[in-house]
Structure 1
Amino acid sequence: MTSEQTSEETRDATERPAPAGPATFRPVPLPALVAVGFVALGLSPIAFQGGAWFLVFLAPLVLALWVVRTRTVVDGDALRVLLAWGTRRVGWDEVATLRVVARGWVRAVRRDDTEVALVGVRTRDLGRIAAASGGRIDMPTPEEVAEARDHQRELEATRLRIARLRERQAEQAAGQGAGQGAGQGADPDPAGAPDERA
């Protein structure tokens, strides 16, 4: 192995940062289990009446299962969405982009244009996803965000200047057209007027 090959392998390894470890996103934090416990406690007088009333305890049990199991786990290999009754895995090589929606979870858009909702992932979590992905996706730095905002302001100011310039040009063209029309209506020496010197 030559030194050039070694340096190329080292460069490839350093180009992609190491993943920061798996990141877990939950739609409801685990301390919500305390509330589920209170619900079960509130249902206990009904459940202990005997007979089929004991099945009332299934409601808080299912709710606790949903709180514990439902989450999205992001690491350097894939995005895993764990639902109450199943799991969906999307490898990073299948992901074309992440789509941010106004309300709801961020969505992973696959290369075949299908989407997978990343349960528990909000827009504010994109930085953590970028860190956990190990460089698979890139988030802008705060400086880049500030530069983009400044650039957007400059573009908006330029659009306003262009709009004002077009308005002035239209007003000038309308003024010149009106001036030419008035000049044609008051011709001081029409062709048919007699010459006073004759």
Structure 2
Amino acid sequence: MPPSSSSHTPETTTRVIRISRLSLLACGFLLLAVASPAMAWPAAFSWMLVIPFLVLAWILRVRTVVGPDGITARATFSTTRIGWDALAGIRFPKRGWARATLTDGSEVPLPVVTFGRLPELAEASGGRITDPYAAADAARAAEAAARATESDDATK
């Protein structure tokens, strides 16, 4: 049984889906990698010291926020807010992040959302987006219960 809500537990189930903070460690390694040529020949390679900081800013900025009001997709240079009434569905291309299909036929990329993150997306959407994993688990449980009932009837 879930605990009752209190002053320190949020009422809404807003979920922020972002790039893992462990990738910030890679930015440190990238800084070390570009520091050697920059120190060896500053006139030619000092501009490379900007690259790790650009990657760091990208990691910290890009995210998808799913909440009771809708979905907010923060990309590198833009932020798009999608209300639940404007969302027609979610598409998962072979490569890249998920795309929200809108009722007007356009698509908006959802940064960092992959098929593996679909249960998080479904939970935060409050059931507006279905979770195929949960549906499959429910179907298996119903099938197992039906088999158990049949075996109980057969033994009587």
Q: Does 1:71 align with 2:75?
A: no
Shift in Å, 1:143: 4.1
Write the distance in 2 (CA, Å) between the matches of 1:146 and 1:104: 30
Aligned pairs, how many? 131
Contact kept? 1:19, 1:133, Cα under 8 Å: no
Q: Percent identity?
A: 32
Q: Does 1:37 align with 2:59?
A: no
5+ residue gaps, structure 2, are: 1-10, 144-156
TM-score normalized by the length of structure 1: 0.57
Once the two structures are superposed, the pairs formed by residues 1-198 of structure 1 within 5 Å of their partners are 19-20=12-13, 22-26=14-18, 28-48=19-39, 49-51=41-43, 53-139=45-131, 140-146=134-140
Amino acid at match of 1:125: R
| Partner SS, residue 101 of structure 2 | strand
Contact kept? 1:76, 1:136, Cα under 8 Å: no
C-alpha RMSD of the superposition = 2.5
Contact kept? 1:19, 1:131, Cα under 8 Å: no
Larger Rg: 1
TM-score normalized by the length of structure 2: 0.71
Q: Decide which structure has greater helix share.
A: 1
Q: Decide which structure has greater strand share.
A: 2
